[in-house]
Structure 1
Amino acid sequence: MRACPLKLNTMPLYPGSKIGVIGGGQLGRMLILECRRMDYLSVVIDTDLKGPAAQVADKIFYPDSVMDFVRECDVATYEFEHFDINIVKQIEENVPVFPSSSVLEIKRNRISEKRYLSENGFPVPRFWIFDDISGVRQLAGTIDLMVKTSTGGYDGKGLYEIKKADDYEEIKGEVKGGIIAEEFIYFAKEIAVICARDRKGNIVFYPVAENVHKEGILLYTIAPAGISGKAEKRAKEIVSELAHTLGLIGLLVVEMFLLENDEALINEFAPRPHNSGHYTMDACDISQFEMLLRAICDLPLTAPELPCPVAMLNILGKGSSDMDIDNMLSLPGVKLHLYGKKEVREKRKMGHVNILGKTAWDVAEKLNYIKKIVYNA
């Protein structure tokens, strides 16, 4: 069963059309830069008129000027799940929004996301849903758990490991509201599967990538992931079915736990560009941002190519003055991307580095070198 009907454009939207971006973060910024390259106009709606996306947009609107925003758009997409859903629906009543607001409603709450996946037969870790953290007391110490708050979860926020009874005691006063407790998965690798789907149901995939997290935040991505053909085929089958079940138009990124037997469990999905797809900006012939633009404008989707191995390293909590830029850029195959954020905070995503190489070993060596430059370790 589809979560939403397909919304049809009568004609493809060609360069010169106006792309509405809901949200003003770095994902919106990178999408807008791709819009500029292809001669699309961009319009942002966000609370921060000086944020990363607003800095490069053609026009910017506050959320209370939603109808002014709508009048400037031919199509809209979102770069952030936690934007006011009522505003997204209001936009959708006047202009096509891809992916649809019904997909966004599923994703913006971890409980609704996991229920949707489970009820539609997708492989997920075992989970339990509770109205508050006290419900976890009965499980604490009997099974290793990852406890997640139902809302506000991104970039490591709202995640708590419980592997012994004392862990529950430490967090019980901190966690508020409904929670989902998942069986902690001891995986072989964490992988990310990225696909695009258009209104006709055509779907294309990027190579499966490996993700490495630190304290719940993506630290780096390596592509290709170096997994078996069987594992890659199975992961893509799951993601293809999810994209079709959602009736999604746009980009879908699914983070998965790859098990030792090559089976995969879905951790979570994002109906938008994703941090784990930033490597596509320099390593692939079509970036994830151009692919999203193609999908929502009803332009041809062609399978992206990755001609060489690549790694993406996140720059977390470091400004440009904190790093030896000269040393970084002296290394061949290194591409620096900064997001225009003025305030440096701990764990804040300030930018990323794409690292291209001739072989997987070459990329791994360069990645270790760049990590030392960024994090002084």
Structure 2
Amino acid sequence: MSTRSIEARPILPGATIGILGGGQLGRMIAMAARGMGYRILVLDPDPGCPARFVVDGCIEAGWDDSRGAANLARGCDVVTLEIEQISERSMEAAASFCPVRPGGAMLAVIQDRIEQKDWLRKHGFPVGPYRAVRALDDVRSAINELGGRCFCKSAQGGYDGRGQGRVGFGPEAGTEAEVRGAWEALGEGAGVVEQAVDLEREISVMVARSPRGEVKVYPAAWNHHEHQILSWSVIPAAIPESLESEARRIAEEIADTFQLEGLLAVEMFVTTGGKLLVNELAPRPHNSYHQSERACVTSQFEQAVRAVCDLPLGDVDLVQPAAIANLLGDHWIGEDGSAVEPRFDRALAVPGVRLHLYEKLKPRKARKMGHLSAVGTTVKQAVERVLAAKAAL
């Protein structure tokens, strides 16, 4: 834990927290904050966003609506965010009325994958080989230079597999059609082409840092993706202690270099050779730490409130292994496209399992509608339980 000696000015319960974004992360931050005695306002373009049902007020406005962001901040003591797509003008508008944590300068780096990769490399953090691309010819050259097997990601936006493509893996490997397909996956705009690495597993590390400089680093989470969407995750990551320590050190140094105020999730690759490579950063609560509510003394959502309000950070020690499995809209849609109701009763019959739904009104394929969590005496048991519950749906 590192500290900076400045006068603490905590924002105490009874104050109002604003959240830029009213999705499931904003909803869960709000639920933790309300339990601590805070009032909550959110801004979101969707009038039926998941957070609307648990907050004191919701401003319907887009991520680039600086007037809406200013209106939010006018009624708040501090503003935070749950999504990276907030425009620079909106961040500045909110910051003219109250502290915005994390800040706009950090967000500007993270929300552009080219800027993010360049920033990590400039500051000496381990990243895999990559090339910035802005034209079809750039994509073609990058794929050749990086050995043919690559992942292509749009510079801005894109998550859960959107705005992403891969080359060198299928029957079209090395063809012009594949290159053009990668360019189209980028939206025919700027992006990064990353060399595919030999993966042993994917992990993430969550860091909390308060304005006074107090830092807490959570145990690493082990993440499993399917179709480029997180399928399940478990804490702890069950990796060698030396690798765990190195991952936590890297994450803390990134947070300190940014002078983070809030939360930062650092996604990393563990290669088959035992190396750690930083994949992506997220300046907010993260899907892979939903199980922190059950695995750790302090959940990521309570910690987010503590961090942005400059309260003492909570203990992040492991209480018990815990896993989550995402529930996508597919579970509500039958093979013929008809609506079906998942059998939550069957899932909840599995020992140690809880259900968490986000009150999203319209299920769509690949849309995150909720998650299941499970605890166990071991990592293996926690994962087995949550996957058994998901299969029972």
Return the TM-score normalized by structure 1: 0.93
Contact 1:9/1:298, CA 8 A, preserved across alignment: no
Alpha-carbon distance change, 260 to 273 in structure 1, aligned in 2, over 3 angstroms:
same
CA distance in 1, matches of 2:205, 2:345: 34
Amino acid across the alignment from 1:75: V
**Which residue of 351, 356, 362 maps to 1:332?**
351
User: What per-residue deviation string (whole Å, max 9, x for no partner) do you get for residues 42-70 of structure 1?
Assistant: 01112122211122110111334433322
- Match of 2:335? none
Q: Which moved more, 1:318-327 or 1:339-348?
A: 318-327
- Match of 1:294? 306
User: What per-residue deviation string (whole Å, max 9, x for no partner) do you get for residues 170-211 of structure 1?
Assistant: 344453111211111111110010110112222111111100
CA distance in 2, matches of 1:205, 1:173: 38
- Is 1:126 paired with 2:129? yes
User: What is the aligned-residue identity percentage?
Assistant: 36
- Match of 1:59? 57
User: What per-residue deviation string (whole Å, max 9, x for no partner) do you get for residues 218-249 of structure 1?
Assistant: 11101111100110111111111100100101
Alpha-carbon distance change, 135 to 49 in structure 1, aligned in 2, over 3 angstroms:
same
CA distance in 2, matches of 1:332, 1:372: 14
Amino acid across the alignment from 1:295: A
User: What per-residue deviation string (whole Å, max 9, x for no partner) do you get for residues 28-87 of structure 1?
Assistant: 000000111111000111212221112211011133443332221000000000123311
Alpha-carbon distance change, 9 to 334 in structure 1, aligned in 2, over 3 angstroms:
farther
**Which residue of 44, 47, 50 maps to 1:49?**
47
CA distance in 2, matches of 1:328, 1:65: 41
After TM superposition, list the pairs within 5 Å mapping 1:67-216 onto structure 2.
67-140=70-143, 142-163=147-168, 164-166=173-175, 167-175=178-186, 176-216=188-228
Amino acid across the alignment from 1:352: H
Task: Say which SS state the counterpart of residue 188 (structure 1) adopts.
Answer: strand
Q: Which moved more, 1:25-34 or 1:312-321?
A: 312-321
Amino acid across the alignment from 2:358: Y
Shift in Å, 1:112: 0.8
Contact 2:323/2:375, CA 8 A, preserved across alignment: yes
Return the TM-score normalized by structure 2: 0.89
Q: Which moved more, 1:26-35 or 1:172-181?
A: 172-181
CA distance in 2, matches of 1:119, 1:182: 17
Task: Say which SS state the counterpart of residue 350 (structure 1) adopts.
Answer: strand
Contact 1:313/1:353, CA 8 A, preserved across alignment: yes
Shift in Å, 1:319: 5.5
Q: Number of matched residues? A: 368
Alpha-carbon distance change, 165 to 353 in structure 1, aligned in 2, over 3 angstroms:
same
CA distance in 1, matches of 2:132, 2:72: 38
Q: Which moved more, 1:130-139 or 1:107-116?
A: 130-139
Shift in Å, 1:169: 4.1
Alpha-carbon distance change, 280 to 173 in structure 1, aligned in 2, over 3 angstroms:
closer
User: What per-residue deviation string (whole Å, max 9, x for no partner) do you get for residues 101-157 of structure 1?
Assistant: 111111111111111111111100111112123312234463311111111121221
Contact 2:235/2:295, CA 8 A, preserved across alignment: no
Shift in Å, 1:89: 1.4
Contact 2:8/2:310, CA 8 A, preserved across alignment: no
Shift in Å, 1:367: 2.8
User: What per-residue deviation string (whole Å, max 9, x for no partner) do you get for residues 274-315 of structure 1?
Assistant: 101100123322110100111111111133122211111001
Contact 1:48/1:54, CA 8 A, preserved across alignment: no
- Is 1:262 paired with 2:239? no
CA distance in 1, matches of 2:275, 2:153: 23
Task: Say which SS state the counterpart of residue 317 (structure 2) adopts.
Answer: coil
Alpha-carbon distance change, 279 to 114 in structure 1, aligned in 2, over 3 angstroms:
same
User: What per-residue deviation string (whole Å, max 9, x for no partner) do you get for residues 340-366 of structure 1?
Assistant: 101111100000111111222322321
Q: Which moved more, 1:170-179 or 1:262-271?
A: 170-179
- Is 1:371 paired with 2:382? no
Contact 1:133/1:179, CA 8 A, preserved across alignment: no
- Is 1:233 paired with 2:245? yes
Contact 2:297/2:315, CA 8 A, preserved across alignment: no
Contact 2:329/2:368, CA 8 A, preserved across alignment: yes
